[in-house]
Amino acid sequence: MASKIVAPFGTWESEINTELFSKGNCKAITEQLPGHGGFYWIEQSLSGKRELYFKTLTEPAVRWAPNQSVQNSVHEYGGGSFALTREGGVIYSTNEGVYEQSEATATPILLACGEGGTKRFADFDVFKNFIYCVCEVHTKDEVENKLVVIDRFSKRQTTFACGADFYANPRVNKKGTKIVWMEWNHNNMPWDETIIKVANVSEEGNVSSEEVFRSGVGENINYQGPQWVGDEIYLSHDASGYWNIYNTNFFTKEREESNMFYIHKDIGLPLWQFGDRRFSSNGTTMVFFMDQNIYLQRGEAIIDLETEGYNTFSHVSLIDNNMMCCIASGPAKPSTLLRVNFTRRPILTDVIRTSVDDGLINPEDISLPKTIKFKSDGFDVTGYFYAPTNSKYTGEEGVLPPVILLGHGGPTAAANQGIDLRKQYFTSRGFAIYDVNYRGSTGDGSQFRNSLKSKWGVVDRDDMILAAQMLVEKKLVNPDQVCIKGSSAGGYLLLSCIQHSDVFKAAVSLYGVADLIGLVKDTHKFEKGYNITLLGKFPEEIKTYEERSPINHIDKIQCPIAFMHGKEDTVVPVSQSVEMYEKLKARGVTTALMLFENEGHGFRGVDAMKDSVEGTYYFLCKAIGIEPTGTSKMEIVNLK
C-alpha cells in the first residue's frame, strides 16, 4: 500500500466533490409502499422532481405519473403523497391536485383540482370507491385544514371532519366500517398534546358519529400514528415518558390498552411530514424501528433483525409474516429501498432501489461516525463524531484538525448516522464533524424532547457550547479552528451560540432564524403555535422574543459568519438573512451572503446544493486560516 500524503488538515484533495451530487441515481428515496406484487416508491430526482416508480423483484422499474412531480405542500412540508387502490392502481397528489392512474401506461385522471395551489391534499387512504385524506385550503386571509372523502367516480368532495387546527392519518379499517384519525390544535405541534378520534363509515363512504378514542389534551400526552389491525387500533404514545406502541380492541366495552413492548426508548417520531411509519403489524407479527435497529416481535419474542450496514430506517411496512420493506441508510449506505426477509439467518436483504450505486465512492474515503456523549445539566447529550478521512492523505503529526459542529433543524428533530455526502465532502478534505442531538431532539424520551419548551435558544445553545468545549478538552480538534453550521432552527442555534461564546471561530447559517418577532408574525400556520411553545406567549412575553432574537444583538457578534437563503422561502423569510448580513457588513465583521433563485426552505436543486457546499467550505477555510483547494461563487466582505 502506498504511503499517504502528509498535508495540512482542510487542504486535502478529495474525490468526493460536488459533481457527485448529480451522479447518483437520485438524491433520496422519500416514500414507499409495498403492494400489487411489488414495490412503489417516490424518489427525489437530481433535478428536484419527485418521481413515482414501481418494481417487482424480477422486472425493471416502471415510472408512474409520467412528467409529474408527485408531492404536496400541506403544512409546507408535505409527505403522504400517494396510496394504492385494490384494483392495482395508484392515487397520488401533485401541485395540480389529486390524480388516479389505473396502470403505468394509462392516462392519469384528475379527481380533485388543486385550484392553483390554494387547495392541497395529502395522507391518503383508499377503500373501494372512496379516498379519505387531509385537505388544506388557502384563502387570502386564512388556512383551513380538514378531512375530506373524495368519490373516485363522481369526483364529489365531502368534508367529514373540520374545526380542529390540524389533522393527520385518516385510516379506514379492513371492513370499511370505521375510520380513525389524529387531530390537534394550536399551540400544540403533532408531537405534543393530540387527540385520536374514531367515526362510523357507511357503504356510501359517509362518515358520521365521531367520538374521542384517546385524548392527551390537559394530560401532556402525545398520541400518534393510529393504524387498524383487524379490530384493534395500534398507535404510539408517550404516557410512560417514551413513545411506546400500544394496541386496543376498539370493539370491546373496556377498550383496555396493552403496551406491545415496554422500553425506555422512543418508538415514534415528530410528524413533520405525513406518511412515515415507525412500526407495522398484521396482528401476529410486528416490526418497528428503535434506537438505530429494526426489531421483529412475535408474541413475547423480540428479535433484532441486524440489517448489516443499515441503522437509520423510515416508512416501515410489513409485507407478510416473513418479510418487510422500508427506506434505510447507514454510515456507508445511501438512501435505499430495502426488502428484508427475516426467515433466514443471517437476515437476507434485497436492494430494490438505491440512490447511489456501489463503486461511486471509495469506501476508504468515507468517515464512519463514533458516538460521543457528554453531560449537560444532568442530561446525557449524544453526538456523532466524524474524523477526517481520506484514502490518500493524512494530517501533519502533532496537529489537530478543524471541526464543524452541526446543529440540526427542527428543532424537534434528530441527527442520524445515515451517510450524507455533504459531511463526507468536508471530512475527506481534512475537517472533523460533530453532529449533536442537543436538548429538544427526539429519540431520548419526552423529558429530553420537552426540555426545550420555553427555553429555545438557551439550553440548546448551552449544549452546543459545551460540545465544542468538550472536543477541545479531549484534544480531538484544533481550538483555533472550531466552526459551527446549521440550517433553519440550527441556523438560529448557531447565531445564539456565537453571541454567547468565543469558542467558535467561524459559522455558516443556512436559511436560519434571526428575528423571532418577525418569525412569529410571518410564519405559516403549521408552526404558528410552535414559536409560542418554544419561547412563550406572544405578544405577552415579547421581551423574551426580543432578548433571544440575534438581530437585536449584532454588537455581540465578532465571529465570521456566512448566510445562505432561498428567495422563495415561505418558512423563514429571506429578509432575515439579508438584514443580518447588511448589519454585520456595516460593523466590519467578516461575512458573506448567497441567495438562491427558485429555492425555498431547504435547497432542492443540484446547483444550489453544489454552490452552498462549496461556498461553506471556501468561507470556513478563509475565516480560520486554511487555504481552500477549490473556488466558490461566494464573495466575502471584511475578510481579515
Q: What percent of the chain has pLDDT over 90?
A: 89
C-alpha angle 4-16-559 in degrees, rounded to nearest 5: 95
Residue 1 pLDDT: 58
Rg (CA), the chain: 24
- C-alpha cell, 397: 503529526
Average pLDDT over every residue of 367-380: 97
- The whole-angstrom distance between residue 506's C-alpha and the CA centroid of its chain comes to 26
Confidence of residue 570 (pLDDT cuts 50, 70, 90): confident
Alpha-carbon span 451 to 379, nearest angstrom: 10
Q: Output the pLDDT for position 108.
A: 97
What pLDDT score does 314 carry? 97
Question: Which backbone phi and psi does 36 adopt, to 5 degrees?
Answer: 55, 35
Whether 105 contacts 89, CB under 8 Å = no
Task: Tell whether the model's pLDDT for residue 282 goes beyond 70.
Answer: yes
Convert the pLDDT of each residue in 459-494 to its tens digit. 999 999 999 999 999 999 999 999 999 999 999 999
* Interval 26-36 mean pLDDT: 96
Query: Using one digit for the tens of pLDDT, what is the confidence trace for 72-128?
Result: 999 999 999 999 999 999 999 999 999 999 999 999 999 999 999 899 999 999 999
Cis before 402? omega within 30: no
Please give the Cα distance from 239 to 218 (Å, whole number): 12
Which residue type sits at 219?
E
Among 3-7, 278-282, 342-346, the least confident range: 342-346
Q: What is the mean pLDDT of residues 572-594?
A: 96
Q: Could you report how far apart the first and last alpha carbons of the chain are, in Å?
A: 42
pLDDT digits (tens, 9 = 90+) for 404-439: 999 999 999 999 999 999 999 999 999 999 999 999
Residues 581 and 507: their CA atoms lie apart, in Å, by: 13
Asked if 394 and 387 count as a contact pair (C-beta separation under 8 A), the reply is no
Task: Determine the Cα angle at 608 with ends 606 and 609, to 5°.
Answer: 65
pTM of the model: 0.94
**Which of 77-86, 243-252, 342-351, 561-570 has the lowest average pLDDT?**
342-351
Span 383-389, average pLDDT: 99
Taking only the tens place, the pLDDT of each residue in 246-281 is: 999 999 988 999 999 999 999 999 999 999 999 999
DSSP output for 536-579: --TTTTHHHHHHH-GGGGGGG--S-EEEEEETT-SSS-HHHHHH
Q: Provide the mean pLDDT of the chain.
A: 96
Q: Who contacts 338 (Cβ-Cβ below 8 Å, separation ≥6)?
A: 307, 310, 325, 326, 327, 328, 349, 350, 351, 352
Q: Of 160, 139, 137, 163, whose CA–CA distance to 150 is shortest?
A: 160
- CA dihedral over 248, 125, 76, 525, signed as positive or negative: negative
Q: Where are the domains of the chain?
A: 5-18+361-637
Tell me, what's the pLDDT at 590?
Answer: 98
CATH architecture for residues 5-18+361-637:
3-Layer(aba) Sandwich (3.40)
What is the spatial distance between Cα 404 and Cα 402, in angstroms, rounded to a whole number? 7
Where are the extended beta strands (E) located within 414-513? 432-437, 482-487, 506-510
**pLDDT at residue 310 greater than cutoff 80:** yes
> How much is the pLDDT for 23?
83
Helix axes 459-473, 489-500, angle to 10 degrees: 70
pLDDT at 22 exceeding the cut of 90? no
User: What's the pLDDT score for residue 373?
Assistant: 98
CA-to-CA distance for 499 and 515, rounded, in angstroms?
14
* Mean pLDDT, rounded, for 124-137: 98
On the question of pLDDT at 232 being above 90, the answer is yes
Residue listed under C-alpha cell 460521543: 372
Which one has a higher pLDDT value, 292 or 371?
371
**Does 2 have pLDDT greater than 80?**
no
| Cis peptide bond prior to 60, omega within 30° of 0 | no
- Identify which of 128, 96, 123 has the alpha carbon closest to the alpha carbon of residue 109: 96
